[in-house]
Amino acid sequence: MERSSNLSRRNFCTITAAAVAATPLLAQAQATSDDSIRPFRVNIPDSTITEMQRRIKATIWPERETVTDTSQGVPLAMMQGLASYWASGYDWRKCEAKLNALPQFKTQIDGLDIHFIHVRSKHANALPLIVTHGWPGSIIEQLKIIEPLTDPTAHGGTAADAFHIVIPSIPGYGFSGKPTVTGWGTDHVARVWVTLMKRLGYTRFVAQGGDIGSVVTTLMGEQAAPGLLAIHTSLPATVPKNIAKSISCGDPAPASLSPDEKLAYQQLQLLYGKQFAYAAFMHTRPETLYGLVDSPVGLAAWLLDHGDGWNQPAAVVISAVAGQTVDGHSAGALTRDDVLDNITLYWVTSTAVSAARSYWENKTSPLNAANVSIPAAATVFPGEIYLAPRSWTEQAFHKLIYFHKASAGGHFAAWEQPQIFSEELRAAFKTLRTAQ
């Protein structure tokens, strides 16, 4: 146990210093002259679904956990119940139909196919918005916010709240291409997103992200490409260097911290002490995760469980699977089918390892203080992995135009609470629209 704790601290020191083991980058894929935008439809072969179901039924199960809570991982009975439904009751074709009802496209940028959903609002002067998912999520996370954002008059807003929305799949995830060379870190993805928006004809736009999507979006803010008006993050990167250092060394919270800062400090201690174990592994050894592309149940368990105990990111997802509140976490708007749509997307695209490599590629801490000088907004959701204090947020985002603590929602806010999430984005960018 002590060895595991020390490893976690060393990994935290590595991450907080943004000093990933030096790895020579291979030559980047050369950009081609093909900048066409091609319509795309999902059409997974029946044989792929049948084989997935066969493998689920053939799972070799371990013995039951020795505890009565989720401290050892996803409980066996819960996992077996999910597997039984997944193999015999779940219908992927419903998800496929839902996706195919939306305008989907692919375009090649820097030699790689980028998949994205693009829905234009019927309202004049809608604000173009690019939204980036995280891990272990996908475009499935954002499906419920499309209508509230593009058609606000039908969802409690006004025409002045409308967005044109672009939801891309990060390279290595979903239906986007899988990088075959190194160099596809979040900084690269941030630049690709700007190219994508301009290719779609948007010369002025805003960006939003959570989890890895927050890293991509924050880097877009730091890169400050012309045309990017502002960003919004649901996982603000705000942790000051001195705080990160204190946590990595196991120090108690400094006495000078405010109550909000002290709470964040305590959450970060737990986060890096236990809950980031999965991230540390993908950050260093993603290729070792062969089992995730061989076993559907192995994949599901890995995607469901992010850590241990209080406020873990996956707690609300586990609650959705169980159909009840688990460890004090409600599933919100999430359903068991929502969760299986996302897991099945990983399976049918065989992207578990390619997605994990995005952690290996990432050279930026997801939580260490950003340095964003363009207008920025942040929403703190009460179930997030840590509750960013306003004082830290103002230091990291120098032109903070909006900061709010939402009434509900967590790490998968758009998925869990789509209405609240949509209202947050409307409010976050409202002053920006007024200023134009």
Closest to 382 measured CA to CA, from 421, 338, 351, 343? 421
Closest to 11 measured CA to CA, from 264, 284, 235, 236? 284
Alpha-carbon gap, residue 230 to 166, rounded angstroms: 15
Alpha-carbon gap, residue 164 to 117, rounded angstroms: 11
Q: What is the DSSP letter of 185?
A: S
Alpha-carbon gap, residue 375 to 136, rounded angstroms: 28
Alpha-carbon gap, residue 30 to 28, rounded angstroms: 6
Instruction: Please provide the size of the chain in residues.
Output: 436
Alpha-carbon gap, residue 113 to 100, rounded angstroms: 18
pLDDT, residue 385, reads: 87
pLDDT in tens, the chain (436 residues): 333 333 333 333 333 333 323 333 333 334 445 899 999 999 999 999 999 999 999 999 999 999 987 778 888 998 999 999 999 999 999 999 999 999 999 999 999 999 999 999 999 999 999 999 999 999 999 999 999 999 999 999 999 999 999 999 999 999 999 999 999 999 999 999 999 999 999 999 999 999 999 999 999 999 999 999 999 999 999 999 999 999 988 899 999 999 999 999 999 988 876 667 788 899 999 999 999 999 999 999 999 886 444 445 556 677 777 676 665 666 677 888 999 999 999 999 999 999 999 999 987 778 999 999 999 999 999 988 899 999 999 999 999 999 999 999 888 899 989 999 999 999 999 998 865 5
Q: Do strands 127-132 and 112-119 pair parallel, antiparallel, or not at all (unpaired)?
A: unpaired
Closest to 358 measured CA to CA, from 232, 239, 216, 233? 216
Burial class (CB in 10 A: 0-12, 13-18, 19+), 120: middle
Domains, the chain, in order of start with CATH, read 28-435 (3.40.50.1820)
pLDDT, residue 74, reads: 84
pLDDT, residue 1, reads: 34
Residue keyed to tokens 């371990």: 62
Alpha-carbon gap, residue 232 to 402, rounded angstroms: 9
* 156 Ramachandran zone, left/alpha/beta (phi>0; psi -120 to 50): left
φ, ψ of residue 349 to 5 degrees: the values are -100, -5
Six token digits for residue 334: 């999430």
pLDDT, residue 11, reads: 37
Six token digits for residue 335: 């359903």
pLDDT, residue 425, reads: 98
Bridge partners, 132 (sequence order): 209
pLDDT, residue 189, reads: 98
pLDDT, residue 317, reads: 74
